[in-house]
Each structure stands twice: as structure tokens, then as C-alpha cells.
Structure 1
């Protein structure tokens, strides 16, 4: 029982750190990940907080799973809605209330901030994936779609990123919004995967040693 509580606490903290990392990338303003770029672009057009719109997008991923799985849909999947709400709230709080008090004038300082955000997100996500107690709505949705149409998960996930970038750029140009797909997007694409692998290799033996994973 105590181990289960510890896993829940660690996952919750990791989710919060993921939101903090994402808000740091938004603050850097040199480009964000594809999914976040889509949220930022559209939220700017409809005058909605980016965390709130991101929350709605993630909840829509849960609804897509419900539509596709129907009777096979498991009730525990609904916990992904809690993930969406927590992430959205943390992003809004950090980006609009905390980081709004600071101004960074140096371009290279923003690049460093972006890299730090990428490290934080990779570390937090690797912890969540290693404990495997809950999944992110987008990844879970892509997994369901890949099984339904018998396509590779990686290909589906990559397609979503490409589509997100195309739509984000289209929205930015059409509505004359700030471009959210920039050099930072490329940096995150290059760094996130390798960092994720490094952190997971570090965490798996340590978590096994303390009995938090099998």
C-alpha cells in the first residue's frame, strides 16, 4: 500500500514538473514542441490561456479513445482527464502568474532556458513512463489509433507532430500571430528523445532497487 502511495506521489510531482518545463519553453519564446505550438497558436487566436486550450486538446484525446474503443474503453483511462487538468493548470499558473514577472532580453538566455525546460520535461516524462502508472492523453490516443488501423505507433505519433506543425504555422500566418514553430522546436525534437533514453536508463535500476517498479 505504501509503495502504491509513493508511486502516485512521484507521478503527481513528475506531472507538475512537466507543466513547469512546458511553461519555461513558452517563456523562452523561441519555439516549442509541435503539440504545444499548436495549442499556443490557436489559443492566441481565440484569446484563451494556452494551458486551458492545451487542457481541452488533451481531454479531446480521451474522448477520441472513448469513441474508438467503445465497450473496450477502461474506466481507469479517465484518469488521463486529471492529467490534462493538472498540466493545464500548472502551465497557466507558471506562465501567466510566475514567469510573467520576469523579462529576458538576451536571445541566448532564452535558448538556455529552452534547453533547461527540455531537460526538466525529459526527466519528468521518463519518470512517469518508468513507473507506468498513468499515460499522457496524446500518447495513449495515438496508441489506440495505431492498433485500430494497424499502423506503427511511432509513425502515428510522428504524423501528429507533423500535422500539428503544419496547422500551427497555418494559423500563425493566416491570423498574423507570432510564429510558435521556430528553432526551439527543432532543438527540442533533437534533444528530447536522447535525453528521455538517458534518464530512463538512470531511473530504472534505481526505482527497481527501492521496489517502486518490478
Structure 2
């Protein structure tokens, strides 16, 4: 029964994270680095952003397998159904639920992205404290950390730099709208502190459901992605 409750909670949190990501995208004034990359590829290919996210994240799981090999477990493989659910929710929320809604006011979009980041950080914090599955980018960075002996926060920050540079290259090479804007800066400023606060706040409630992993403890000290 305890495991069933954890699974139900996991599904709920993934759905809420996906909806929060859709809200960030709906505001259209910039997103986090990983989502900026997915959205840039969407501008180039016309493929839905959630679908691009699924493809990219599955590639990261494959990267974990390449790096970890014998240490790659069923726990790592659980990322795949979570990835598919998350991308599906993002697509449904953005293109079905939120699509008919038009927001012409910049002030409202500004407020929307702040609310969206607060929700996203809170649900992501709860998801990480539940400690059932690691998000693909964090899992890949941890695999790199294990193989290179570089600390996880350093690897994660380098990953963000590489992703942002990739977005800038795509933006200028294909002359597409920039997905790195003021909203990206807002996310960098408020996301990590809210994430850490949410994790500490929810931790006592999740104590009976599972322990806090080493990955979670280290992630509290670094800015993390949206999806």
C-alpha cells in the first residue's frame, strides 16, 4: 500500500511539473536552459516542444547507460515512462488547455512566469524528495560526475553553460525567436532558492515514504533545469 501511494504521488507530481512547464512556455518571455533548447528545436522543426523534450531526455537516459554500463539499473530505466508522461502532459497542457487563452499584457505574462516558476520549483522539489526517480539531465550529470570524479554541482553548471551556448548558436544560425530572455533570468534568480525551500519544507512529510538521496542533497546547491 505504501508503494502504491508513492506511485500515485509520483504520477501526480509529474503531471503538475508538466503543467507548470507549460505555463512557463505560455508566458513566452523566456524559459530555463533545457526547455529553451527544446523550444528552439521546436521553432526549427515544427515538432511539439513536449515531443522534443521526450526525445532529448531519452537520449540522456541512453547516455547514462553508456557511462554507467553495469551500474545502470532498473531504477535508471524508470526515467523513461516518467519522461513520456511529462512530455505528453506538456503537449496537452500547452497545445490543448492553454492554447485558446490569449494574454496580450506583458505585465500579466511577467506575473504568469513568476507564478509558473514558483509552482515548478515546488512540485520539482516534492518530486525530488519523493526520491523514486531522477530527472534525466540530473541523472546524466551524476553519471558524468561518477566517471570523471568532478563534483555534481560543477558538472551541472557546465551542462547549463553548454546548453545555453547551443541555444544561442541555433538562434543565430536558423534566425529563430530567442528562447533565452528575461524569463530565463527570472528563473535563474528565483528557481533554485524556491526549490531548496520546497525540498526542506516537504522533507518531513516524505520521511515515511523514502529517504533523501545523495543526488538530492547536492542538487540543493545548484540551479537545476525546468524539465
How far has the Cα of 1:28 moved from its partner? 0.3
1:117-156 equivalence runs, <5 A: 117-156=116-155
Q: Residues of 1 paired with 2:104 and 2:83: CA distance?
A: 32
Q: Residues of 2 paired with 1:100 and 1:110: CA distance?
A: 14
How far has the Cα of 1:156 moved from its partner? 0.9
1:113-192 equivalence runs, <5 A: 113-192=112-191
Query: 1:34·1:164 contact (CA, 8 Å) conserved in 2?
Result: yes
Consecutive unaligned residues in structure 1, runs of 5 or more: none
1:54-133 equivalence runs, <5 A: 54-133=53-132
Aligned residues: 211
Query: 1:32·1:182 contact (CA, 8 Å) conserved in 2?
Result: yes
1:34-73 equivalence runs, <5 A: 34-73=33-72
Does residue 213 (structure 1) correspond to residue 210 (structure 2)? The answer is yes
SS at match of 1:130: helix
Partner of 1:200: 199
Q: Structure 1, residues 75-123: CA drift from partner, whole Å, max 9, x if none?
A: 2211101111111101111111111100100111111111111111111
How far has the Cα of 1:43 moved from its partner? 1.9
Partner of 2:215: none
Query: What is the TM-score normalised by the length of structure 1?
Result: 0.95
SS at match of 1:110: helix
Report the more deviating stretch, 120-129 or 198-207: 198-207
SS at match of 1:113: helix
How far has the Cα of 1:158 moved from its partner? 0.9
1:11-50 equivalence runs, <5 A: 11-50=10-49
Q: Residues of 1 paired with 2:24 and 2:130: CA distance?
A: 25
SS at match of 1:101: coil
Q: Residues of 2 paired with 1:204 and 1:12: CA distance?
A: 18
Q: Residues of 2 paired with 1:98 and 1:139: CA distance?
A: 29
Query: 1:11·1:127 contact (CA, 8 Å) conserved in 2?
Result: no
Q: Residues of 1 paired with 2:30 and 2:8: CA distance?
A: 31
Q: Residues of 1 paired with 2:200 and 2:75: CA distance?
A: 28
Partner of 2:217: none
Query: What is the TM-score normalised by the length of structure 2?
Result: 0.90
Structure 1 segments of 4+ aligned residues over 2 angstroms from their partners: 211-214
Consecutive unaligned residues in structure 2, runs of 5 or more: 212-227
Alignment RMSD: 1.1
